[in-house]
Amino acid sequence: MAQLFFKYGAMNSGKSIEIIKVAHNYEEQNKHVMIFTSALDDRYKSGFVSSRVGLQREATPIYEETNIFSVVSESSLRLSCVLVDEVQFVSKDHVLQMARIVDELDIPVMGFGLKNDFQNELFEGSKYMLLYADKIEEMKTICWFCEKKAIMALRVDEYNKPVREGSQIHIGGNDSYYPVCRKHHKQPPL
């Protein structure tokens, strides 16, 4: 029975590499997957899931007007799984479309993304994944500054100083964000 999965974690917890791994495991058994990613994340190249370790997979970009359910239901392939990277950037409608894929097409959907932003607020996509997912799993990593589990993102500017205000969405990697524990989110040793 298909389910909607939400796998979340702080920056550097291995979300994108996990998608690439899951896709490989299905395809090694001659099963088909469809991979999506937010069109907002263009750090490496739009329409690709890219891991910091250098692995990359082509993906269908999700724009505001994209109907994920329609794209999947119109596929000529017999899909075994749908994988979605950067799910924090999708809308409530996109999450509901993913739930329809599970409920109406009986295809499992695995969404991977951040739970909270640099101000420790939920992203829209993450909020609705938390509400609608059948299974929720945390992917763990450690704080940039200590050995505790990282549960937050610390945004920094070009001078490596903490940023506490601004737009919720600012695309970046280690140049803009550190995975941190609660203590170092409040008082980073920078």
* Residues with a known catalytic role: 86
- What CA–CA distance (Å, rounded) separates 97 from 157? 36
Structure tokens at 32: 């088909």
**What b-and-e string marks burial along 71-89, b requiring 16 or more CB atoms within 10 Å of the CB?**
bbeeeeeebbbbbbbbbbb
Angle subtended at Cα 51 by Cα 45 and Cα 110, rounded to the nearest 5 degrees: 95
Q: Is the dihedral of CA 40, 44, 49, 53 positive or negative?
A: negative
Question: Could you tell me the two tokens for 156?
Answer: 């920094």
Cβ(28)–Cβ(156) below 8 Å? no
Residue 170 vs residues 16, 23, 26, 41, 48: alpha-carbon distances, Å: 18, 27, 33, 9, 18
